[in-house]
Amino acid sequence: MKQHITPAQLAQLTPEQREKLREWWVPQPGDMFPCEDGTCIFPITRVEKLQEGYMCYFVRKPERNEFTAVEFSFGSRCGVLPLLSIGQCIELLTSKTVNSVINIESNWYDHPEPLQWYVDVSGWDGQRPELIDALFAAVKAVL
């Protein structure tokens, strides 16, 4: 089961959706983000709160234990966005859809049909083979 969205999925967001995601995201150790060309993924290992944002540390070259820091600023000055996890998608949906019900189901009982995940949030509903894909489709609808 996929646990995070892919760099290609992150690239599907419109500039407005990217800005809303950027405003919502508070970097945490364990969060992952792609490099600029999307060919590599970095996990955040440590976060320090700054006056105007965050200083996030990640391992650039694990074989040499080489750590690198990247500064995340508040607002539109921050160019890095997270590869959302299943939990982060649920948190974002919960925060953006106040007083709404988030319904998540699967058809695991319909064997031998291929597994599908169904997500229904604030009138948006959809299905995908992977839970993270169904959640991200809902996230794109509410951003």
Host domain of residue 11 = 1-25+84-143
At 5, the pLDDT band (50, 70, 90 cuts) reads very high
The 41-50 sheet, strands edge to edge: 32-34, 41-50, 53-61, 66-73
Same domain, 76 and 131: no
CA distances to 14, 18, 63, 115 from 23, rounded to whole Å, are 14, 9, 34, 34
Q: Are residues 88 and 141 in the same domain?
A: yes
**What does the CA dihedral 123, 9, 132, 69 come to, rounded to 10 degrees?**
-120
Owner of token pair 């000055």: 77
pLDDT per position as a tens digit, 93-142:
888 876 666 777 777 666 666 677 878 776 667 778 888 999 999 899 88
In this structure, are 19 and 3 located in the same domain? yes
What length does the chain have?
A: 143
Number of domains in the chain: 2
Distance CA(9)–CA(48), nearest Å, equals 28
**24-57, pLDDT tens digit by residue?**
998 899 999 887 777 888 888 888 888 877 778 8
Q: For residue 58, which of 49, 46, 50, 48 has the smallest C-alpha distance?
A: 46
Regarding whether 52 and 97 lie in a shared domain, the answer is no
- Say if residue 104 is in the same domain as residue 75: no
